[in-house]
Structure 1
């Protein structure tokens, strides 16, 4: 698939996350059921392991945790709107669609072009070819029945000032809404800034924004006083030796703060 093969930089990470999700979904003991991701994975001619090494299931766990947070919100907000920033080839709409939700996928033009080859838009799942930092997307959101903003694997690719501006724009635009995103710890951010080669064929993009788990809530509350709650949870597990250590490390104050973390924010009404 020529468009996928030509992706570079941050847009190329859509294939990295697809590799992790679909490989986990294929496993009989996989923790994520995602038939659409499997279909995409098998449809795109790409040497995933040569670029991204053997899948560890990390992105599948992230998607599962996002799904678990979104489904109760959908039940409580029939006909509400989900905004998926940096959607790439994520298939959360296909996994969670309740037949009523309105969905807005936002990503860079080159990413939307690839997405639309395999996941065409529909009346309830629209696509918008725009950077998440270009907040014109806010005007495209119908907030009448509630808004849930999802940003998987996105904020770490911006610098802190950009994250702050986008975070505050979302909080100001959607009182009573929710925002969910993930963060990487500071040590991992530094590693990517120095150059992180996953394989001889792939160097991960620079990820300027890293924050340790114990710093998240204080920083977000400093950015905006309009937060009803901030909840953070580290990834529950991944495959391999690191996955075996995660449940042991997560409760430890000095080590647990250094894990990748999922953040869910409720905005005051």
Structure 2
């Protein structure tokens, strides 16, 4: 597993945070599959990523709530998970009807297949999210939810625009959920950001302030309907644990990461 480098290695970082939270008695996510995979991989997580902070577990739990609510409104609909890595959302919230498409670069899918088997309702597509041919695996007329956890910040802004507008143009009944980082964090990553002495965070070219985000998205496509911005709820470590408070302060919220849920202008809401 140690042959992973660059962006694909971040799947182990997110697994570290999610599984460590899942096994806590007071954990705010239940994820037995993540815990199983975590224990199965011979990798020094603490050496690379330090103490778990709950960030990725919080993000996954927030995505679970929104996607799970959409599944109740669209039984048998399709979820596309871009940059799936070792995320186990399908295993956490599967209702026995949803159809799921896990999309990631070939080396990431190869790792995923060691621990999670594809099935008729949960298929794997070994392609970059930027390779728009993954869309051919989805019926355009059906309800669709597209997620991208910890992905868009690794793309250039122009690449994010191309991807989002292509999704909105092809799928009339679509909702999307993704996360963004602030500009200062993007700049630090481009200069060389060390998470620990032994792990450098991959470069994250796209950062944006909270106040800029909705106007930018709307300038990209007239098909954007609602835009909901959500701050991260919980962190285990200081000062990140102050994020829920910081989100209420105009001057500070611009420097925070946010989770975004948007709908197409004509997406069916019921």
Shift of 1:143: 4.0
Q: Does 1:68 align with 2:102?
A: no
Q: Which runs of structure 1 show a deviation greater than 4 angstroms over 4 or more consecutive aligned residues?
A: none
How many residue pairs align between the two structures? 266
The within-5 A match list for 1:247-258 is 247-258=244-255
Partner residue, 1:27: 24
Partner residue, 2:132: 135
The within-5 A match list for 1:157-196 is 157-196=154-193
Shift of 1:243: 3.7
Aligned partner (choices 55, 58, 70) of residue 55 of structure 2: 58
Shift of 1:174: 1.2
Q: Deviations over 1:107-149 (max 9, x none)?
A: 0000000000000100000000000000000110124440000
Secondary structure class of the residue paired with 2:239: helix
Instruction: Provide structure 2 residue ranges, at least 5 long, that are not aligned to the other structure.
Output: none
Partner residue, 2:4: 7
1: CA distance between counterparts of 2:242 and 2:121?
41
Shift of 1:268: 1.8
Shift of 1:244: 3.4
TM-score, structure 2 as length reference: 0.97
Aligned partner (choices 206, 228, 233) of residue 236 of structure 1: 233
Seen in structure 2, the aligned counterparts of structure 1 residues 222 and 140 have a Cα distance that, compared at 3 Å, is: same
Q: Residues 78 and 145 of structure 1 are in contact (CA less than 8 Å); yes or no, is this contact kept in structure 2?
A: no
2: CA distance between counterparts of 1:72 and 1:198?
34
Shift of 1:179: 0.6
2: CA distance between counterparts of 1:240 and 1:15?
19
